[in-house]
Structures are given as C-alpha cells and as structure tokens.
Amino acid sequence: MSEIKYETVIGLEVHTELATASKIFCSCTTEFGGEPNTHCCPICTGMPGVLPVLNQKVVEFGIAVGLATDSEITPYGKFDRKNYFYPDLPKAFQISQLYLPICRNGVVAIEGEGFQKNIRIHEIHMEEDAGKLIHDPIFDTTHADYNRCGVPLLEIVSEPDFRSAEEVIAYLETLKAILQYLGVSDCKMQEGSLRADVNLSVRPLGQAEFGTRTEMKNINSFRSIARAIAAERKRQIELIEDGGKVIQQTRRWDDAKGVSYAMRSKEDAQDYRYFPEPDLSPVVISEEWQEEIRKGLPMLPKERKAKYMEGYGLSPYDAGIITGIKALADYFDEVNAIVGQPQEVANWLLGDFMRLAKAGEGDTFEILLSPAKLADIILMVKTNVINRNTAKEVFAAVWQEDLDPKQYVEEHDLAMVGDGDLIKDTVAKVLAANPKTVAEFKAGKEKVLGFLVGQCMKELKGKADPGTVNTLLREALK
C-alpha cells in the first residue's frame, strides 16, 4: 500500500424484528421457527382480494424507539408499496414506508475505547419481513417457507457517521440494549431478529467528499460485521491503489470464506416503483399519544448506568458492561436485593459468570443459574461458611444445572472448619514438620509464611479461612 492514509466511512441499516405476538397485517403468530408454512394465512401469503390491517402495537413500538433515540415522530405517516418479483415475497411487493416514515432525525450516543460520539439516525420506518428461502443443492431448486412473511420490522437507518468497526459495534450494542430495554425486540442475531446491512466507502484522509460506496448484506454476528468491514475496506483500497474504481453495488458477505461477492450493481439496480399503499389508512400520531408512550418508557441503559455508578459506586466500566445487557442488569438487581453488596455482585458477574453466559454459539448470552442461588454463594462467603476459592469451585459446579449451592457444599463437605482447635492442631503439626522453614521465618524471612499457610490449607483440604490460618500461624511463631 502507498503512503496515502484512508478513512473508512460507514452507514448502517439495521433491521429489527419486533416482539409482537402477531404479524404486522394479520393475526398469524410471529413465533420463530415452526414447521414450514404453518404460520400463514391468505393475508401474509398475498392471496388476491385480502385486506391488511395494521397491528397497533407495531406503531407503539415504533414511537417508543423514536422517543428513545430522540427522533422526531412523524405526525401524519403512511405506507408505500415496494414492488419486486422475488419468491421470498409472494405478494410481489413489500409494504414499507418511503415518503413518510414513522421517525426521522434521531441520535444514538456511543462510546468506547478512545471515542465518544453521536451517531445520527436518518430515519426509522415500519415494514413487513419476507419469507425464508432454502436452496436445495441436490435438486437445484429453492424451497419457500412463508412463516416469517409479515413479521413486523423496524428499519433503523443511520447517517454515514461511523469511521471504524469499533464504532459500528459500539453502536449496535447500544442500539441492541435500547431495543431490549424497551422490550420491542429480543435482538437475537442468530435467529435473524437483528440484522445489519453495512454501507461502506473509503476516501483519502482529509478529503471532504465521500468515495463510492458498496452495500454488504447477510452479516449476522458482531464478529462477522467486524470481519466484513475489514475485508471490504481492504478490497476498496487495493482496487483504488491499483488504478481501479469502486463500483456502487450490493455485495453478499460469505462468512465461511471471509469474502464478499457482488450481487448487483447500480446499473441493474431494481426499479421498485414505490407508490402509496391503497389498502392501509394513514397513521396519525398525536402529541397525546406520544406523551402516553413517553410516560410508559422504562429506565433506559444510560440512566441505569448512571444509577449504578452514583447509587452503587460501581466504576463506569463495570456499570457499562452490566447495564449493556438488560438480562444481566436485571440479574444484578435481583442478586443485590438479597445480598446488598453491589461491588461484590459486580465482581461475580464480570468474572467467570460472563464467560459461562457467553459460552454458547455466536452472540448468545444465556444465564443458567437463578439469581437466588448466586446470592446464596455470596452469602456463604460473607458468613464464612466457605472461602473464596471454594466459592468459585461451587459456582462452576452448580451453574449448568442450576443446582442448590448450599446442598452442594453440604454433600461435598466443603464447609470451612469453624473449629479453632482443629486449625490450631494443624498449625502445630505443620510447624513440627517444617523446622527449617520455621527457622527461616524466625530469621526474618517473612515470605515463607505463605508456604506454611499453603501447607495448613492443604492439610485442612482447603476448608479453612486463609486469614484465620495466617493469624494462628503468626501467633504460634511468636
């Protein structure tokens, strides 16, 4: 590569499937999966003569997301038809919003290592999801399953405000937290309920105008987003350095191969022939309706983080990670309500807990241990029933099957020896067996005390408070 430094410019189109019970224009369930074509009716399969009716909850969710992103809510909105022939959409058009989307001009504040900035939201619109196509390589045919057809989506379109993959991921994590806090989507990337298309261009650093951009589709994890961005940036720069030109096109990301392929260029871009949807009435959102929804908004990640810092004395880092995942913050609250030691609870959640919760595939986050049981472990440490090392061991053992930690400690005889005499006897025994070390200690070599503590702990099978052992050792060595 030459001396020129390049800047990456990225804009995102995020599609999020809404957590309504029924579809956007009919009463079929939105449940994920199911046998092919069993969540379908004449409306979502586009039979002639049917009439769609808008699910009110979709509008309410749209308003809530708009308010949470400081967007302007469109007082008089409507739907439009986007026409195209593709077997994932049996109607041959998608009902979407082009001219008067539900929200405009929002903002999402993001932060990460070395950056803190506002990402502007261009617009948010409501639309219906398409069906799922599965390619059959044996018969060289395509199978169409329309269960997902008509599941409500919000498409959140950002301005081209990102300059790195780190910013993109910070934004997606922030957005995901907001959507989960609002309860409007479960945001499971692996199930496709949160999807992002990446618009990317490069330009020499300092150049004011944007380069030609490409759009990458089919990216379904945070990890692949970072990889796709790095690969596309490299591809565009190499193209330019070789004297070529970036062509405006849509590309499909192949995560297994780590490369993207051109799908279609601007020249053969589809002509969607948008026109106002005649089957749906306009949507009027009054100030009163907005206010009603604003009053019902839950505490959002930003406020909750502030509460954890000011109310519980957690560091911005700890508070940020815990409140960044709603399920984790809820868990924190439940455990802390029982034990009343916020920093201790935070330490637990940010250690092995995090690793185990993220052990599943992709971006999954799954808590298998109920909060009362972690509270039991913390309380056993607090009341000196077990020491910290044993606590970690118990935690790892009970996690998977949500076992009762108290019972586990009992069954495995892990409770500490409260009996001072037994510890004293052990200390005497260890001292008698290590005369050389004792002499060293008495000669001023303080360090060797650790070894003696270790020997005592070993003798007591780890079931003693190391602090007590330490004290008793010192007393005996006087």
Partner 1 sequence: MIITDEIIDYVSSLARLDLSVEEKTKIKGEIEKIIDYMDVLNTLNTTGVEPMSHVLPVTNVFREDIVAASVPREEILANAPEVDHGAFRVPKTVE
Residues at the site binding partner 1, with contacts judged by CB under 8 A = 20-22, 27-29, 35-42, 45, 53-57, 59, 78, 83, 85-87, 100, 133-136, 139-146, 252, 263-264, 271, 273, 276, 278, 280-284
Look at residues 70, 52, 215, 182 and name the one whose alpha carbon lies nearest to residue 127.
52
Smallest separation, CB 261 to partner 1 (Å) = 11
- Whether the CB-CB separation of 277 and 80 falls below 8 Å is answered with yes
Distances (CA, A) of 355 to 221, 349, 350, 366, 367: 18, 9, 8, 10, 10
Smallest separation, CB 29 to partner 1 (Å) = 5
- In degrees, rounded to 5, the angle at the alpha carbon of residue 223 between the alpha carbons of residues 217 and 203 is 60
Which C-beta is closer to partner 1: that of 90 or that of 160? 90
Which C-beta is closer to partner 1: that of 264 or that of 458? 264
Smallest separation, CB 349 to partner 1 (Å) = 34
Which C-beta is closer to partner 1: that of 99 or that of 115? 99
Smallest separation, CB 98 to partner 1 (Å) = 12
- Whether the CB-CB separation of 216 and 198 falls below 8 Å is answered with yes
Smallest separation, CB 15 to partner 1 (Å) = 16
- Whether the CB-CB separation of 371 and 338 falls below 8 Å is answered with yes
Distance CA 210, CA 201 (A): 7
- Whether the CB-CB separation of 186 and 337 falls below 8 Å is answered with no
Which C-beta is closer to partner 1: that of 20 or that of 96? 20
Smallest separation, CB 188 to partner 1 (Å) = 20
Which structure tokens are listed for 473?
């050792």
Which C-beta is closer to partner 1: that of 140 or that of 361? 140
Distance CA 412, CA 395 (A): 13
Which C-beta is closer to partner 1: that of 63 or that of 240? 63
Smallest separation, CB 364 to partner 1 (Å) = 26
Distance CA 89, CA 134 (A): 14
- Whether the CB-CB separation of 369 and 399 falls below 8 Å is answered with yes
Which C-beta is closer to partner 1: that of 284 or that of 433? 284
- In degrees, rounded to 5, the angle at the alpha carbon of residue 137 between the alpha carbons of residues 135 and 138 is 130
